Amino acid sequence: MDTPNTDSTEVISTSVPTETTVIEDRTRRNADNLEVKGGGGLETRGLHAWFNKHHALADVSLHFPENTVTGLIGPSGCGKSTFLRMLNRMHEFIPRASMAGEVLFEGRDIYATDVNPIEIRRRIGMVFQKPNPFPAMNIGENVIAGLKLAKIKVKDKDTLIEECLTRAGLWKEVKDRLKAPGGSLSGGQQQRLCIARSLALQPDVLLLDEPCSALDPGSTLRVEETIVQLSESMTVVIVTHNMQQAARVSDYCAFFLSDGGPGRLVEARAASAEGRFTVCSPDHRRRFSERKGSRQIGLVPSPWDTPLTPRRTPK
C-alpha cells in the first residue's frame, strides 16, 4: 500500500501516546446521573509484539468503549492484524511470537495466569480477511460449528441458527437452502456466514480483520450495515484500508504507522471529532457514496472535510 500523501499528514499527529488513549468519556449514566458499570469494553496498555526478534508493534495503549465501532487504519505491515490477534489471544498460536503489556477486558487482564484463553476467544470473537467457512459443512452446520468445538450445548439449534443468520444480515438470502454447502455461497455471503458463526458463541466483542477487502461494493455495504447493527449489542473493532469505510461504520478511528521500526499508534480519536472525520447516517452515507470523485482506497483522507451528522449521539 502507498504511504500517506502529504495532504494526509496534516491530520496525523506524530506524537506517540505514552499513556492509555481514552478517546472520549462516554460513561453511561442512569436517570439519577450515576455511573453505570457495563461489560464489553476493551483496553490495551503498553502493548508490544514480537515475532522471534522482530519487534512488530510497540507501546499501543488504546481504549475501546463498549458498544462502539473502532476502525484501525494504517499502511501494510504496520501491525494492525498483529494488534487485533493480541486482543483475543490468537497471537500466541504463532510459533516464536511473544508480547508484552496488558489487554483489559471488563477491567481484567486477559493474559493473567488464571484466565482461560478459550473463554476469552469465545467472548472476543474474530472474523478474518478471507472468509473461511468449513467446506464439508452445510450453511446451518457452519453457524453452530464453533459451539461444537467449544463443547457448548444448545437446546434449540434451529432457532439459534436463524437468530445468528438474521443478525449477520444473511437469513433472507439463505433460509431456503440451509442444507447447501457453506462454500456454495458468494464471497460476501461467506463473510456474513463467518460473522454468523462468531455470533453463535455470543461474543461481547467482535474483531474483524479487513472483512470487505475481497468483496464487491454491494456485499461490502451489506457487511457494513451488519457491523453497524451489531454494534448496538457488542463492541466492534475493524481493520480497514478503506478510509471511506472507516467513515461509514466507525465511531472512533485509530491510526497506526511504522517508520521502519515497529508499528505504533500515532493518533486515535472520535470519528466525528472536529467535524472532519465523520460518521454517517444511512442517508448521509448514500449521499456521500454518490459524491463525485470520491476515492475508495488507501490513506487518502477524502472524507476529512465533509462535515456530516454523527451516526448516533453519545450515550
Give contact residues for Mg ion (rule: CB under 5 A): 81
Among residues 44, 81, 250, 306, the one that binds ligand ATP under rule CB under 6 A: 81
Tell whether residue 88 is a contact of ligand ATP (CB under 6 A).
Answer: no
DSSP 3-state percent helix, strand, coil across the chain (nearest 5): 30, 25, 45
* 28 contacts: CB under 8 Å, gap ≥ 6: 35, 36, 38, 315
Asked if 126 and 198 count as a contact pair (C-beta separation under 8 A), the reply is yes
Rounded to the nearest whole angstrom, what is the least distance from the CB of residue 231 to ligand ATP in the complex?
A: 22
| Alpha-carbon span 246 to 303, nearest angstrom | 10
Kindly indicate which of the ranges 5-13, 71-79, 215-223, 306-314 contains the residues binding ligand ATP, using the contact rule CB under 6 A. 71-79
CA-nearest of 16, 84, 55 to 264 is: 16
Tell whether residue 13 is a contact of ligand ATP (CB under 6 A).
Answer: no
Q: Which three cell numbers stand for residue 172?
A: 433472507
Rounded to the nearest whole angstrom, what is the least distance from the CB of residue 239 to ligand ATP in the complex?
A: 7
Rounded alpha-carbon distances, angstroms, from residue 173 to 18, 124, 156, 268, 301? 47, 27, 21, 37, 35
φ and ψ at residue 25, rounded to 5 degrees: -80, 110
Nearer to ligand ATP, 82 or 242 (CB): 82
Tell whether residue 237 is a contact of ligand ATP (CB under 6 A).
Answer: no
146 binds, among Mg ion, ligand ATP, none (CB under 5 to 8 A by kind): none
Among residues 71, 79, 140, 298, the one that binds ligand ATP under rule CB under 6 A: 79
Tell whether residue 71 is a contact of ligand ATP (CB under 6 A).
Answer: no
Nearer to ligand ATP, 81 or 88 (CB): 81
77 binds, among ligand ATP, Mg ion, none (CB under 5 to 8 A by kind): ligand ATP
Strand ranges across the sheet with 205-209: 124-127, 205-209, 235-239, 69-73, 252-257, 264-270
Applying CB under 6 A, the site for ligand ATP has a residue count of 12
Among residues 61, 82, 189, 244, the one that binds ligand ATP under rule CB under 6 A: 82
Sign of the dihedral defined by the CA atoms of residues 87, 18, 49, 71, in that order:
positive
Among residues 13, 39, 94, 307, the one that binds ligand ATP under rule CB under 6 A: 94
What length is written for the chain? Answer: 315
Q: What is the DSSP letter of 22?
A: -
Nearer to ligand ATP, 43 or 210 (CB): 210
- List of residues contacting ligand ATP (CB under 6 A): 51, 54, 56, 74, 76-82, 94
